[in-house]
Amino acid sequence: MARVWGILKRWGVPVSLTLAAIAYLVHFVDIADTVSRMTPRTLAILGTALLLFGFFSTTIEAMTLRRLLHSSRPDFTFMTAVRIKSSSYLLAVVHYTLGAATLSVLLGRRSGVSIERAAGIILLVMMVDLGMVLSMIALGATLGSSVAVPVQLGLVIAIVVGVAGGLALLRAPFSLGPIDVLRDRELFSAARGVSSRDLAELIVVRFVFVLGFESLGWAALTAFGVSVPPAVVLVNFSGVMITSMLPAVAGIGPTQIAMVEFFRAYGSPEALLACSVALSAGLITRRTLLGIVFVGELRREDSEAPKLRGGDEETAD
């Protein structure tokens, strides 16, 4: 009974959220019309965009990890970063937090840093990514004033300032009093210790990455005949990206609703749903295939973990 309850607690919310979103879409959108819009031509255009984005994103992700470790672990290579990032996609398909946890473990094992510090590196990247996504919203709202982009710009700017301020406090050269106990944890060592040059390069690289993902969204919309001003794509597709982080199974359901609602003024619900489903399916397929190709990293971790635990126990004895 305890095991069943544990499964329900872990999967109850994601499964319920996905099913509720699918029920909503089935009720309000013509599914037959949606399927009919997935023609060989549209899927070929989207497939090409996904292929290009795949090479681009894998390169950027590996560059990011290499950049954050090059000073302390010069033997951590670009290809090692490619392998562990790709293998983490198998669990990231279920939800990005599972992928982040897997990547933290693999990064710690392969680079020789502690798991907590590795998790701190992933946390730093996620903080920067959030700042970049919100910056895209602010940029789109500024550029799109002529097309009346609906966004609470003040709130977005406040969150961006909050993220930047939090990072600045972690790196502050002076004592923060009682907060030092939290700041000095190894989880935040990456944010504290990364050089200003590496941090600046990280921000630029992640800005390019988020802009690339926005471009993929624009390409997907264009493939399904939905014409959207670039400024609106920056704002609304960023909203779709944030929605995809909700605790649904693989982000499925809420992401599709967000795509339909955010871009409703520019295309039919059926075209937007077809676009979102095809894009999500393509991303999931890409991540799954990469994860399968590099599944050896997970198998290696699975075989090494008992040995490491055994070594720790012997040391303790």
Inform me whether the pLDDT recorded for 116 exceeds 70.
yes
State the pLDDT at residue 144. 67
- Let me know if 246 is exposed, middle or buried by CB neighbors in 10 A (0-12, 13-18, 19+): middle
Cα(267)–Cα(273) distance, integer angstroms? 10
Cα(81)–Cα(58) distance, integer angstroms? 9
70 falls within a domain: yes
186 falls within a domain: yes
* Beta carbons within 8 Å of 65's beta carbon, 6+ residues apart: 76, 81, 84, 85, 107, 121
Cα(21)–Cα(12) distance, integer angstroms? 14
pLDDT digit string, tens, across residues 85-115: 999 998 888 877 888 889 999 998 888 888 8
224 falls within a domain: yes
Cα(24)–Cα(53) distance, integer angstroms? 30
Inform me whether the pLDDT recorded for 245 exceeds 90.
no
Q: Token pair 């939090």 is at which residue?
A: 166
Q: Which helix (H) or strand (E) holds 261?
A: helix 254-262
Cα(21)–Cα(9) distance, integer angstroms? 19
Q: Token pair 């989207």 is at which residue?
A: 46
Q: Which helix (H) or strand (E) holds 71?
A: none
pLDDT digit string, tens, across residues 265-310: 999 999 999 999 999 999 999 999 999 998 887 777 656 554 544 4
Summarize the confidence of residues 56-84 as an average pLDDT.
Answer: 90
Cα(149)–Cα(146) distance, integer angstroms? 8
- Which range is least confidently modeled, 9-13, 118-122, 135-139, 196-200? 9-13
State the pLDDT at residue 210. 96
14 falls within a domain: no
pLDDT: which is higher, 8 or 14: 14
pLDDT: which is higher, 317 or 286: 286
State the pLDDT at residue 219. 97
Report phi then psi at 55, rounded to 5.
Answer: -65, -45
214 falls within a domain: yes
17 falls within a domain: no
Cα(69)–Cα(71) distance, integer angstroms? 6
DSSP 175: -
Summarize the confidence of residues 195-220 as an average pLDDT.
Answer: 94
94, two tokens: 């279920």
State the pLDDT at residue 317. 45
124, two tokens: 């730093």
- Mean confidence (pLDDT) of the chain: 85
Burial 299-315 (b: 16+ CB within 10 A, else e): eebeeeeeeeeeeeeee
pLDDT: which is higher, 177 or 224: 224
209 falls within a domain: yes
Cα(154)–Cα(160) distance, integer angstroms? 10
State the pLDDT at residue 110. 86
Please give the residue range of the domain that contains residue 222: 38-294
State the pLDDT at residue 167. 85
Number of domains in the chain: 1
Summarize the confidence of residues 163-176 as an average pLDDT.
Answer: 82
C-alpha distances (whole Å) from 182 to each of 13, 68, 165, 186, 187 are 30, 22, 16, 9, 9
23 falls within a domain: no
* pLDDT interval class at 223 (50, 70, 90): very high
Amino acid at 27: H
- Which range is least confidently modeled, 146-150, 232-236, 246-250, 287-291? 146-150
